[in-house]
Amino acid sequence: MIESGILVMNKPQGFTSFDVIGKLRGILKIRRLGHTGTLDPMAEGVLPVLIGTAARACDILPDETKTYCAGFRLGTVTDTQDSTGTVLETHDVLVTETDILNCIPQFCGEIQQIPPMYSAVQINGKRLYELARAGREIERPARNVFVERIALLEFHAETGCGTVEITCGKGTYVRTILHDIGQTLGCGCCMTSLLRTAACGFTLAEAHSFETVQQAADSGTLEELIVPTDRLFSALPAILLSEAQTRLYRNGVRLDLNRIARIPEASLRCRVYGADASFLGLAEPDREAGVLRVYKNL
């Protein structure tokens, strides 16, 4: 029985992130599963799934950077901002590759983005997609998001189609970036495909299909696919506790900092390992009080 860990999935098209969780519950025979970021049914690619006690880490992930390869078509505006939606406008495309390259920089860095109506964002207790399906559109406040880079991989002027690679932070809508680029270029744009190639430090090369997971479950080799939970926090300094300290930590007791190996001064959190070198969770040093506080048992 797997108690904790990460199973990196390659989500296929047509599945929501919740669909992936549901199918994995059937394969793994485990109820407690969580994912690290929603992917629309149209999207495919990297979806890290947190198993058992690792699911407690869903809201404390230190690295929520994601990279996408997205196809686009200029000249078309849809209600969903992608090619699955209803076409609202079409325009002639008189745009060059240079025009796109000159436009891209204004969508990098910290930018403001209005979430699309067809999204899982909640406003006043309602999911936006629920309102959109009911034919309603409401005002949505712009949100700050961070886009690390946008690279134009290809563009075909004769069709207005191309591909970009985007690396961004949590809560960023790639289709909205493309929609907004189209608005800036004056011809409109919709996303035609979306592949997440990296998320939370995991890459597509590490991702598994449902078939692979099912075969591993059937053959009793599932453990070989599971990544240890502490991989999520590998950038944090690590401390090793004694047997007595391990018992205290497990019970939520604060530990004397003077009795623990030195933690770098700049560290706000650290990985905690028990006397048997097993990963226990995260802790926060309180240097004024001289104690190490339990932050999250994992």
Tell me if residue 214 falls in helix, strand or coil.
helix
Q: Which of 57, 10, 51, 55 is nearest to 28 (CA)?
A: 51
Cβ atoms of residues 37 and 85 within 8 Å:
no
Paired tokens of 264: 């770098």
Residues paired with 240 in a beta bridge: 273
Catalytic residue among 40, 82, 180, 230: 40
Query: What residue type is assigned to position 236 of the chain?
Result: L
> Positive or negative, the Cα torsion across 56, 18, 132, 185?
positive
Q: Is 40 a catalytic residue?
A: yes
Cβ atoms of residues 151 and 142 within 8 Å:
no
Q: Is 186 left (phi over 0), alpha (psi -120 to 50) or beta?
A: left
∠254-255-260 over CA atoms, to 5°?
A: 155
Q: Which of 29, 62, 38, 35 is nearest to 50 (CA)?
A: 35
What are the CA-CA distances from residue 46 to residues 10, 65, 191, 194, 197 (Å)?
A: 5, 12, 18, 11, 6
Taking the CA atoms of residue 271, residue 268, residue 32 and residue 245 in that order, the dihedral angle to the nearest 10 degrees is 50
Tell me if residue 279 falls in helix, strand or coil.
strand
How far is the C-alpha of 226 from the C-alpha of 47, rounded, in Å? 13
How far is the C-alpha of 81 from the C-alpha of 183, rounded, in Å? 11
Q: Which of 185, 183, 175 is nearest to 94 (CA)?
A: 185
Residues classed as catalytic: 40
